[in-house]
Amino acid sequence: MAAYESQRFSMLDTIIELETANKCRMLHSVILVAQIDPKIDSVYTKICSHYETLFAKLQKRYQCDAPTGLLLLYSNFSFHFIEAHHTIILHTIKDLQNLTLPSDNAFFTNSVILQYLSSVTYSLLPLWKYAILDIPPSGDESYQPSDSLGIVVGSVVRTFYKLISIYHKRPKTEAMRFLDRISDRIDLIVPREKLEYLLKQKELMTPNDFTKIVDKRHTTPLQSDVAWPAPERLFDV
């Protein structure tokens, strides 16, 4: 009897288990770079508010864990790192397409996908946060690297992950303050000249390119859909 009692589940246990099972667990990450439209008033406030609302709606709609990440806002550019279920990542990329010219609701004049990782083991950040950077331009507006595009992208990604690694080494009580004062660590910030260079490279995938590939994959018919005569089922479903 005691063994039977120890294995019984209450209704609360069952509800919690079902809610946990229904939540999205597969984690993906993406780095998005965009050029901010200088003609929009209060653009920083509008961008941050937009993403806060978007992520809240997507989390509620798909019953996923809240996205985590970091949005760095330069004077003319944005560097956005997001960790979330792939459905939320896909919607965020499509949303960026709608926020980029020639869209009527555009915040950005140009945008590219710098990195996309699937099946990430764990989150690098505990929450989603934004930071407005007060960093003057270096003066080297004509940045022309001697390295290949792949090497430049790799160096940009490594610089950002170095920032995240230093964040992780901080005590929890200091971690948030570190992000709040991130402008003091210029050595950990990707130079805006590199972002401007990357946005001009046609080899990098845009949100529009990515969306076309995903939509095409989802609409590609199976061989059985176009076969004639239609295949017969061997067993009832």
CATH number of the domain bearing residue 176: 3.30.70.100
Considering the domain boundaries, does residue 3 fall inside one?
Answer: no
For the ranges 2-16, 47-61, 165-179, the lowest mean pLDDT is seen at 2-16
Query: CB under 8 Å to 109, separation ≥6 — which residues?
Result: 35, 36, 37, 100, 101
- In the prediction, which pLDDT does 183 show? 81
The tens digit of pLDDT for each residue in 71-116 reads 999 989 999 999 999 999 999 999 999 999 888 889 999 999 999 9
Considering the domain boundaries, does residue 47 fall inside one?
Answer: yes
| Between 61 and 138, the higher pLDDT residue | 61
CA 39-41-46 angle, 5° bins: 115
Query: Is the predicted pLDDT of residue 18 greater than 50, yes or no?
Result: no
Query: Is the predicted pLDDT of residue 26 greater than 70, yes or no?
Result: yes
Query: Is the predicted pLDDT of residue 67 greater than 90, yes or no?
Result: yes
Considering the domain boundaries, does residue 1 fall inside one?
Answer: no
Task: Provide the CA 123 distance to its chain's centre, in angstroms.
Answer: 12
Which residue range(s) make up the domain with 200? 21-135+147-206
Query: Is the predicted pLDDT of residue 6 greater than 50, yes or no?
Result: no
The beta-strand segments (E) located in 105-220 are: 108-120, 128-132
Q: What is the mean pLDDT of residues 8-33?
A: 64
The beta-strand segments (E) located in the chain are: 27-36, 68-73, 77-85, 108-120, 128-132
Query: Is the predicted pLDDT of residue 145 greater than 70, yes or no?
Result: yes
What are residue 17's DSSP bridge partners?
A: none
Considering the domain boundaries, does residue 225 fall inside one?
Answer: no
- In the prediction, which pLDDT does 146 show? 87
Query: Is the predicted pLDDT of residue 24 greater than 80, yes or no?
Result: no
Considering the domain boundaries, does residue 201 fall inside one?
Answer: yes
Percent of the chain at pLDDT > 90 equals: 48
Considering the domain boundaries, does residue 78 fall inside one?
Answer: yes
| Between 12 and 196, the higher pLDDT residue | 196
Considering the domain boundaries, does residue 82 fall inside one?
Answer: yes
**pTM given for the model:** 0.80
Query: CB under 8 Å to 110, separation ≥6 — which residues?
Result: 34, 35, 100, 101, 199
- Which 3 state secondary structure label does DSSP give 101? coil
- In the prediction, which pLDDT does 22 show? 46
What total number of domains does the chain contain? 1
Considering the domain boundaries, does residue 89 fall inside one?
Answer: yes
- In the prediction, which pLDDT does 172 show? 74
For the ranges 82-86, 126-130, 176-180, 211-215, the lowest mean pLDDT is seen at 176-180
Greatest Cα-to-Cα distance within the chain, rounded to the nearest angstrom: 79
Percent of the chain at pLDDT > 70 equals: 78
The tens digit of pLDDT for each residue in 221-232 reads 555 555 555 555
How many Å apart are CA 183 and CA 179, to the nearest integer?
Answer: 8
- In the prediction, which pLDDT does 230 show? 53
- In the prediction, which pLDDT does 171 show? 80
Query: Is the predicted pLDDT of residue 7 greater than 90, yes or no?
Result: no
- Which 3 state secondary structure label does DSSP give 153? helix
